[in-house]
Amino acid sequence: LPAGRPIPCRGAHLAAATKVEDPARPTLPEIYQRELDYVWRTLRRLGIPAADLEDAAHEVFVVVHRRLGDYDPARPLRPWLFGIAYRTTSQRRRRSVPGGAPVRDDDVLELPDQAPSAESLLATEQARLRVHRALDTLPLEQRAVMIMHDLDGLSAPELAAALEIPLNTVYSRLRLARAKFTAAIQQPEGVEE
C-alpha cells in the first residue's frame, strides 16, 4: 500500500486499493457513507427503475473509485457525482432500454405500511411518484438539467461544468424541461399522452 492515511475500513478490494495522496480528497468509504443517499436519489430521479437501482449505484461507485484521482477537492462533490450518475444512466439506457420511459410501478413497493401515523409519508411518496412520472416525459438531457437545477439547487454554471455542456445549452434545456414538466404535472390524473 502507498504511504498515506490508514484505510478507514476493514479490508477489501476497492477500498484497500484507494490511494490517499491528498488529505483534502475524500476516500471512497467516506464518499459512500456521505453520498450514497444522494447518488441513489439521483439515479431514481434520472429514471432508473427501482429494481435496477442497486446495480446502477454499484456502477457509479466503481467509476467514482476509478476516477477519484480526477476529482478536484476544491470543487463541490455532488455535481461531480451527478455527472457520473448521469453518464451511467445514459449508458445503461443505450445498453438495455430501447426507448420509452421506465416502468415505475415497482416504486410503489417502497411505500411503508400505511398506518394512520404514516399519512404524511404517503403524501411524500405520492408526490415523489408524480414528480418522477412527470420527469419521465422529458428527454434524459433535459431531465438531468431540471433535476440539478430545480431539485438539487445547483447553479447553471455548476451544471454546465458537471455535464460538460455550454451555459446557453443549460438555460435552453432548463426552459424546455420546465415547460414540459409543468404541463405533465398539471395534466389531470389518469390522462396519458
Partner 1 sequence: MSAPREGLPAEVLRLLDLEGAAAPVPDSARRRLAARLGLAAPVALPEPPVAVNKPWWASATLPAGVLLLASAATVAWVAARGSALPLVPPAPPAIVAPVEPAVVPVMPVPEIVPVPTPRSARSTPPARSEIAVLRRAHEALARDQASQALLILEQHRRRWPKGALVQEREVLAIQALTRIGDTAVARARAERFLSDFPESILVPRVRELVPATAPR
Report the interface residues with partner 1, using CB under 8 A: 9-16, 28-29, 32-33, 36-37, 40-41, 44, 53-54, 57-58, 61-62, 65, 76, 110, 112-113, 115, 117-121, 123-125, 127-128, 130-132, 149-151, 153-156, 178, 181-182, 185-186
> Helix (H, G, I), strand (E, B), or coil: what is residue 181?
helix
Could you say which DSSP state residue 49 is in?
A: -
Smallest distance, partner 1 to C-beta of residue 188, A: 13
Q: Which is nearer to partner 1, 76 or 90 (CB)?
A: 76
Smallest distance, partner 1 to C-beta of residue 98, A: 26
Q: How many CB atoms lie within 10 A of CB 23?
A: 8
CA dihedral for 167, 172, 175, 179, sign (positive or negative): negative
How far apart are alpha carbons 85 and 20 in whole angstroms? 23
Smallest distance, partner 1 to C-beta of residue 111, A: 8
Q: Which is nearer to partner 1, 136 or 150 (CB)?
A: 150
Q: Which is nearer to partner 1, 23 or 116 (CB)?
A: 116
Burial of 47 (0-12, 13-18, 19+ CB in 10 A): buried
Smallest distance, partner 1 to C-beta of residue 14, A: 5
Pair 145, 177: CB distance under 8 Å: yes
Q: Which is nearer to partner 1, 30 or 141 (CB)?
A: 30
